[in-house]
Amino acid sequence: MDEASAMQYLASHGHDKTGNDVIFSWLARYQNAAAAGASAVNGTIGALLEDDGSLAINGVVDAALRTAPAAEFAAYAPLKGLPSFLDLAVSLALGDHRATLESLGLHTGATASPGGSGALYLAASNFAERGDAVLLRDRYWGPYAGFLRGCGLKSATYPLLPSANEPATAHLDLEAFSSSLDELAKTQQSVMTWLNDPAHNPTGLSLPAESRFALLNAFMESATRNEHVGHTLLLDAAYHLYADEPHGWAETIAEALDAGLPWPENMLVCFALSLSKSHTIYGLRTGALVYLHPEEASVQRLNDVMGVTGRQTWSAAPRVAQHVLSELHATEAGGQSWSEERDRLASLLSQRRERFLRACTQHGVNINPSHDGFFAWYECEDPVAVAEACAGQHVYLVPLTGGVRIGLCAVPTSQVERVAEALAVATGATQ
């Protein structure tokens, strides 16, 4: 008897949910090697580790959490989130450009979610018709596919890096993006694209200002041409507060409006925020979906829609971090203390990236452009073979579609060169 016949209580769409998470399976291989006494390097996970291998924790956030009243741990949060936290989420998304954007006529709203994943779910379940394809780069965080599939959606992709028609420094294939957008707009009632920028997972790529402006302009033009097709630009900002330009998108949007680019009524811009990384509270599952639109009534309607979606899915997002972080950032001293510790962690990531890129150059490893955040990327045709060859040297990385992800967030600074050396050996072995 096959599984489908034996498990008649499982719905047909449930049978598609198979397999183990590739990241955690490779983490387990590292842990097994280390437990066996090997001098192993961990480049698998997406959490920031100190150089001694312990989880990097923002001490300012940790201290604030430990003094929170018991009721803030135990009580429900409002379904849409604590008002003070929703205000903070908008500020974290837009930074110093918030006042400018609001003065230019944009209204802002937000809904609390269980982590950045919850924010992505809110978007997937509300901004695309079932059966639609959501536009992604062809290198993306693997769980995107599951979020979309779980909401009855598909994906369409465009190349991560520019073609010969685009300058390499743009880090954007604008022609392919625009063409893909046009195709979707012709066949769908809604068009949504998810753009993990800055500090893209899995590559560490960040778009420069001119590319952000060009992409936003292309999106605005598509919405204008296709006035009866809803357009949603979702910016996955999971790692943005570790980037050199953490609020570059807010700045670009302000520049576009200041330059007179019209904001079509059928266009929405969203930010999916994760406080897991920025505030080192991964397990407290705190995030938000922030949205911008020139019509206040539209924003108010979205607040209702997202609140109902949350209620029907996870009820309310956890309360304690919403309260603590709102209180922490409410004072200049608290925000500054958090920022100083965040800067220390960002500097740790920058040191590792600079050493890694330099070592790759020295060893002839053709690593992808990488600027910010937790990861770097080696593009290759046989990622599993490369990862296995590295594992043979007790350097553990993650093979994904089209390449190998290097978790610089987890690699001790002193071991970064060893990762480049392992890749050099591995790529020589597979040529």
pLDDT in the model for residue 165: 80
High-pLDDT (> 70) share of the chain, % = 97
* CATH code for the domain defined by 23-58+341-430: 3.90.1150.10
| CA dist 271 → 10, 189, 235 (Å) | 35, 22, 5
The pLDDT value given to residue 6: 64
pLDDT band at 431 (very low <50, low <70, confident <90, very high): very low
pLDDT band at 260 (very low <50, low <70, confident <90, very high): very high
| Model pTM score | 0.95
Ranges in the chain annotated CATH 3.90.1150.10: 23-58+341-430
Please tell me the predicted confidence (pLDDT) of residue 16.
75
Kindly report the number of other CB atoms within 10 A of residue 288's CB atom: 32
Q: What angle, rounded to 10 degrees, do the helices at 115-126 and 296-311 form?
A: 110
| Residue whose entry in the numeric block shows the structure tokens 């539209």 | 298
Between the CA of residue 383 and those of 85, 162, 264, 338, 405, what are the distances in Å?
41, 21, 42, 38, 9
Binning pLDDT at 50, 70 and 90, where does residue 166 land? confident
* Higher-scoring residue by pLDDT: 430, 281: 281
Q: What is the mean pLDDT of the chain?
A: 95
Q: Where are the alpha helices (H) located in 259-295, listed in sequence order?
A: 275-278
Longest dimension (CA), the chain: 66
Q: What is the pLDDT of residues 4-47, one digit of tens each?
A: 566 778 887 777 777 678 899 999 999 999 999 999 999 999 99
pLDDT digits (tens, 9 = 90+) for 356-398: 999 999 999 999 999 999 999 999 999 999 999 999 999 999 9
Average pLDDT, integer, range 233-255: 98
The reported pLDDT for the residue numbered 430 is 42
**pLDDT tens string 86-103:** 999 999 999 999 999 999
- Return the CATH fold of 77-330: Aspartate Aminotransferase; domain 2 (3.40.640)
CB atoms within 10 A of CB 134: 27
* pLDDT at residue 305 in the model: 97
CATH 3.40.640.10-classified regions of the chain? 77-330
Token pair in block for residue 257:
């409006």
Is residue 1 pLDDT above 80, yes or no? no
Q: What is the pLDDT of residue 9?
A: 83
- Res 17: pLDDT: 76
pLDDT tens-digit readout, 169-200: 899 999 999 999 999 999 999 999 999 999 99
Task: Count CB neighbours of 402 within 10 A.
Answer: 15
46-84 tens-digit pLDDT: 999 999 999 999 999 999 999 999 999 999 999 999 999
